[in-house]
A and B are shown apart, each in its own frame.
Chain A
Amino acid sequence: TQLLEQSPQFLSIQEGENLTVYCNSSSVFSSLQWYRQEPGEGPVLLVTVVTGGEVKKLKRLTFQFGDARKDSSLHITAAQPGDTGLYLCAGGGGKLTFGKGITLSVRP
């Protein structure tokens, strides 16, 4: 069974700070996705990474896929209150395996 572990589980920071969160596995994934979910809503796809070492940027968010395709990181520059939410990583295709998520709170 492929497992994805996300860390830290909870993060509360001040607006304007930078942060990095992680998604790790002992298994190799063909691709990794990051989603953001707000309470009572469905996960919203942020990015898909498929190549080892790949870096993708989405405005202030930078996503990196590990060289061995077993891990990924998400870096947010100058966090804003609108970044608050649950960040989920998911691996594989079709039968997605999800991590438990990182709850991020950005205080104004």
Chain B
Amino acid sequence: DSGVTQTPKHLITATGQRVTLRCSPRSGDLSVYWYQQSLDQGLQFLIQYYNGEERAKGNILERFSAQQFPDLHSELNLSSLELGDSALYFCASSRREETQYFGPGTRLLVL
């Protein structure tokens, strides 16, 4: 158990819909990262937040957005969903950037 929690574990929705994925970091970690894992692309960095502020951005689509709240939990919002958005979404947290601990992930299926 990494100490990072993610909800929900599974999510099935339809194209065009919007979903919110939630992440609670390990106690004391100020940084939260979001990654997408698909069979063809592997694990891809989406975005990083540090103590409530956006710190780094990867290849995150404009339809996707995230935020980190004062209690340090984070949410990833995915809108206008497409079939290709089906993937595993992971949250990670860290105190030091090179040592990230991953949550169990949310498996998103868009039908």
List chain A positions with a Cβ less than 8 A from chain B. 30-31, 33, 35, 40-45, 48, 50, 88, 90, 92-101
- Of B4, B56, B96, the residue contacting A95 (CB under 8 A) is B56
Contacting residue for A93 out of B90, B98, B102, CB 8 A: B98
CA distance A97 to B56 in the complex (A): 13
Judged by a CB distance under 8 angstroms, whether B16 is at the interface is: no
Q: Is the interface of B mostly helix, strand, loop or mixed?
A: strand
| Least distance between B23 CB and chain A CB atoms (Å) | 11
Q: By the criterion CB–CB under 8 Å, are B103 and A42 in contact?
A: yes
- Supposing A40-B107, A88-B43, A95-B45 touch, asked if A50 and B100 sit within 8 A by C-beta, the answer is no
Determine the residue in chain A with the shortest Cβ distance to B107. A40
- State whether A48 touches B98 (Cβ < 8 A): yes
Q: How many A-B residue pairs have CB under 8 A?
A: 59
Given known A40-B107, A101-B42, contact A48–B99 (CB-CB < 8 A): yes
Question: How distant is the Cα of A100 from the Cα of B39 in the complex, in angstroms?
Answer: 9
Give B residues with C-beta under 8 Å from A: 2, 4, 31, 33, 35, 42-45, 48, 55-56, 58, 90, 92, 96-105, 107
Contact of B97 (CB < 8 Å), options: A35, A44, A45, A94 = A94
* Chain A residues, CB < 8 A from B96: 93
